[in-house]
Amino acid sequence: ATGPCTSLEELLEAHTQDVQGTITGRSYRLPPVLWVNLDRFVFDRAAMRGRKRQAQLTFPEVLNVWMLVPPGEPWVQGLRLNGDRKRKLQRKLQENRAKVARKISPEEQVWEGAEEALIQLVEQQEALIEQQQRLEEVMACQGAEQELLYRLQAVIVHSGRVDSGH
């Protein structure tokens, strides 16, 4: 991973690639209702106490859990390939957004052709977003065909510290 996970999909995918979270060899069978419990607490060895992770995650209204299917299943290969494409598009989009932010930064020196360069970056961004939307639509169709879609019903967020609160 290039940085901290910011979406539930990224978090689930990272979990399946973790040595302890590997799904290789597991049988494929998803429940009718999927309950996901995220552990937001870690043990800080330096401080010798638990601490709460401070991270924001996005939760989609419909979750495609293709990443939970064992990688050897032949029918999931198309989804895995599209998942790789989606990650690459997200990286390109992130890089593009960083370039746009630098171009509109007040510290950035204005140079001849800067406006045209910014317009080109924004057009690239729009094209990347369009590609990403089309890819997500394809993945949603593939997920629906294989009954891999779950509709979000609730999100419960713990409020408080590692040792107290609700």
How far apart are the C-alpha atoms of 64 and 142, rounded to whole Å? 9
101 vs 44, 93, 133, CA distance in Å?
35, 12, 22
The H helix count followed by the E strand count for the chain is 3, 6
The DSSP call for residue 7 is B
| Residue 137, CB-side half-sphere exposure with 13 Å CA sphere | 6
Query: In this structure, are strands 160-161 and 41-44 parallel, antiparallel, or unpaired?
Result: unpaired
pLDDT at 162: 62
SS3 of residue 78 by DSSP:
helix
- The CA-based diameter of the chain, rounded to the nearest angstrom, is 60
* Contact residues for 65 (Cβ-Cβ < 8 A; gap 6+): 12, 30, 34, 143, 148, 149, 150
- What is the DSSP secondary structure assignment for residue 19, as one 8-state letter? S
- Supply 27's token pair: 């049988």
pLDDT band at residue 88, thresholds of 50, 70 and 90? very high
Position 1, amino acid: A
Over residues 94-146, the pLDDT tens digits come to 999 998 888 776 666 666 677 888 889 999 999 999 999 999 999 999 888 88
Tokens read off for 93: 């989009």
Q: What is the pLDDT of residues 2-57, one digit of tens each?
A: 567 777 887 777 766 654 455 555 555 778 888 887 777 777 788 888 777 777 77
Give the pairing of strands 149-151 and 160-161.
unpaired
